């Protein structure tokens, strides 16, 4: 498996072990992880800390020049919030574990020049499917349904 | 002035007094404020807590049915992150203090059915202009420039 997706998946599993929504993300700058995180809806009662947002928050305040050399790795296709955040900071590339469970704003990202790669990783998919089976309402809450 | 924009502006002024970026927002559900907040980049070293995000975070976890009856009031036109977040939660209406300092994703919001109203309030505008004059780099950082 891609080494950075593997770290994102570790984050997702950490979230699952905490009773949270198992989505993890890693922000990589020129081959180095500068932020990693996972969804904190349950753990912190947060409505904004999806995996991508948590990874960005944990990377701290970075100059625009850094974001523009970053790749976001995330276990699940990014929702409108996380996609908009990548557009705000000009992150040029996103690598997605899977988009079968949820199709995010991949088309919007592409239309704005972001490179979008979908790996269709089975482990990412299976973790989400298991979680949704166990917690359908929590999952709906997270995607505003 | 619109009573809720007034509260959003109070939040913006609070941010300014704290040495932060003076943008404030209020989430209103059926005429009642359920969350208010302001940009926390400086105060909390946050890269995700724009005014709208802070207001949503302070409103706490709400069911989708609540978000769908909400109006977001914000002193400045919402950036891609905040616009995407409103799309995620299905907030149907946003009232904007001004969009002369910064033009956010108003067209994207409208294209997805969100009602966008711009008040062009002079006090919101003047506060941002004063801040940007004093802190041009901080402002650029906040919009990913």
Of the candidates B25, B23, B60, which has an alpha carbon nearest to the alpha carbon of residue B41?
A: B23
Global model pTM greater than 0.90: yes
Residues of B known to be catalytic: 52
List the single best residue of B53, B85, B112 to mutate versus A (max A Cβ within 10 A): B85
Nearest to A88 among B57, B59, B79 (CB): B79
User: Half-sphere exposure of A132 toward its Cβ, with a 13 Å CA cutoff?
Assistant: 15
ipTM associated with this complex: 0.97
Residue that the structure tokens 């800390």 belong to: A49
Which long-range contacts (C-beta less than 8 Å, at least 24 apart) are formed by A112-115? A112/A87, A114/A86, A114/A87
d(CA B127, CA B61): 31
> Inter-chain contact A47–B57, Cβ cutoff 8 Å?
yes
A62: nearest CA partner in chain B: B141
Using a pLDDT cut of 90, give the percent of chain B over it: 99
Residue B6 class from Cβ within 10 Å (0-12 exposed, 13-18 middle, 19+ buried)? Answer: middle
Q: What 8-state DSSP symbol labels residue A61?
A: S
Whether residues A81 and B88 touch (CB distance < 8 A) is answered with yes
Model confidence at B60, pLDDT cuts 50, 70, 90, reads very high
* Inter-chain residue contact B45 with A63, CB threshold 8 Å: no
Q: Of the candidates B60, B83, B145, which has its C-beta nearest A84's C-beta?
A: B83
Q: Which of B25, B81, B140 to mutate to test the interface with A (most CBs of A within 10 A)?
A: B81
Question: Over the stretch A49-82, which tens digit does the pLDDT of each residue have?
Answer: 999 999 999 999 999 999 999 999 999 999 999 9
Cα within 13 Å of Cα(B127), Cβ side: 26
- How confident is the model at residue B37, as a pLDDT? 98
The whole-angstrom distance between A118's CA and the closest CA on chain B is: 21
């Amino acid at each position: 498996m891609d080494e950075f997706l593997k770290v994102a998946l570790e984050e997702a599993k950490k979230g699952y072990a905490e009773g949270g929504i198992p989505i993890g993300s890693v922000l990589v700058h020129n081959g180095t992880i500068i932020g990693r995180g996972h969804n904190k809806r349950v753990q912190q009662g947060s409505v904004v800390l999806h995996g991508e947002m948590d990874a960005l928050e944990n990377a701290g305040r970075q100059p625009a020049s850094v974001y523009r050399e970053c790749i976001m790795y995330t276990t699940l296709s990014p929702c409108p919030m996380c996609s908009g955040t990548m557009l705000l900071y000009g992150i040029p590339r996103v690598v997605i574990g899977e988009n079968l469970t949820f199709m995010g704003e991949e088309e919007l990202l592409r239309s704005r020049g972001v490179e979008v790669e979908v790996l269709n990783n089975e482990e990412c998919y299976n973790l989400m499917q298991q979680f949704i089976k166990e917690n359908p309402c929590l999952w709906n809450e997270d995607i505003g349904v």
